[in-house]
Amino acid sequence: MSEPSGSPRHAERSKLVDRARKLDAGDELRAKREEFVLDDTVYLDGNSLGALPRAVPARVADVVAREWGELRIRSWTESGWWTAPERIGDRIAPLIGAAPGQVVVGDSTSVNIFKALVAAVRLVDDDTRDEILVDATTFPTDGYIAESAARMTGRRLVPVAPGELASALGPRTAAALVNHVDYRAGCLHDLPGLTAAVHDAGALAVWDLCHSAGALPVDVDAHGVDLAVGCTYKYLNGGPGSPAYLYVRAGHQERFDSPLPGWNSHADPFGMTAGYVPAAGAPRGRVGTPDILSMLALEAALDVWDGVRIEAVRAKSLALTDFFLECVEAYVPKGRAESVTPAAHPERGSQVSLRCADAAAVMERLIARGVVGDHRRPDILRFGFTPLYVSFADVERAGAVLGEVLSA
């Protein structure tokens, strides 16, 4: 639905279109967009699945045809397959503010949460600390895994809203599992403050970084995070089902006791001995044979981060989400959608979530018109903003189409 030329609404859109053009012209990251496979769709679902980096298809083709097809078993050594989990972990490390040797790639986010949480309780090694606190607003899998970890370690699971976590901590707390960014509303939780509070209570902090790594600074080393996990298929663009990663702070690695001691984490994996002796450092977080095809696709995808400052990513993320909220205010009829994402920058991740009564149907209409986000039942529209490839022109178009759909 177009507005007549000269109407107030047309004039307002002209201003926003012009602003988008100027913002794109001054964007430090604008050249990165060319490193992705994109079309004329406005893709705002990178918080679920990142776009395909252009370097990946050729790399995967080479892995399949040459490394697997020709070298075969020799590729474990000659192509570096065996060391991929730590090598790729070291490439992810700067994106979460970690020094080398503390991140290992492999398994799923769920499996790594289980490893991290059970290991955290074992690191505390105090039977009087019989509670595990978990973010009550967490992604469901985190809660399921935490409940199982609590049963396995003889602890009681205590769900707590992130805003109440500090006051819930006490002498019975062994560990706390918290999401850095709320997956529904996009709220950014206070990682430095909550980590310090957990430590003051004598417990360990485990963070889920799925919705923050690659979108904003995390600085796990600087803030004393004990263990952290994250996926790689969202803002890191590793592809569907790409392997997750596990961060274990260097000071904890010697005592890190994984509940899944597979042969890949053995100090002498090819010794095939009956007794388990854990490897030193990050490899201790490995379990079984690495999923090489998806792991090496991820490694190629990480090339898009060459030369990128995470501070620039955060600055653009905030500018994109600010501009989207401005477009929503300008284009969407009053009362049709309400932002549930914090307006304050320190409390916002890299997404905007809108409460809308008919969210599922609205998202279907948006996708049909080339604006791709997603929804969470019953009434949340989610829009993720990946700074490496989302433009301000994309944002303006998304806001305008949303306004037209909600005006129909």
Of the residues 33, 115, 155, 234, only one is catalytic, namely 234
Distance between CA atoms of residues 379 and 106, nearest Å: 34
Burial 328-365 (b: 16+ CB within 10 A, else e): bebbbeeebbebbbeeeeeebbbbbbbebeebeebbeb
Which positions ≥6 away from 109 have C-beta within 8 Å?
141, 208, 210, 229, 230, 231, 244
Length of the chain: 408
For 388, phi and psi rounded to 5 degrees? Answer: -70, -25
208 is catalytic: yes
Of the residues 139, 235, 324, 389, only one is catalytic, namely 139
151 is catalytic: no
Nearest to 264 by CA among 294, 282, 284, 245: 284
Contact 389, 51 (CB under 8 A): yes
Which positions ≥6 away from 138 have C-beta within 8 Å?
146, 177, 178, 179, 208
Of the residues 114, 183, 233, 389, only one is catalytic, namely 233
66 is catalytic: no
Of the residues 32, 129, 316, 382, only one is catalytic, namely 382
Find the distance separating the first CA and the last CA of the chain, reported in whole Å: 9
- Cis, peptide link before residue 378, omega less than 30° from 0: yes
Which positions ≥6 away from 129 have C-beta within 8 Å?
121, 155, 171, 172, 173, 174, 202, 203
15 is catalytic: no
Of the residues 142, 182, 190, 208, only one is catalytic, namely 208
- C-alpha angle 153/220/352, rounded to 5°? 95
Instruction: Please give the distance of CA 309 from its chain centroid, rounded to a whole number.
Output: 17
3-state secondary structure (DSSP) of residue 50: coil
Q: Using the structure block, give the residue that is written with the tokens 């989207």.
A: 324
The DSSP result for 270-308, as a single string, is GG--SS--BPSSGGGG--S---HHHHHHHHHHGGGGTT-
What is the H or E stretch that residue 72 is in? Answer: none
The residues annotated as belonging to the active site are: 139, 208, 233-234, 382
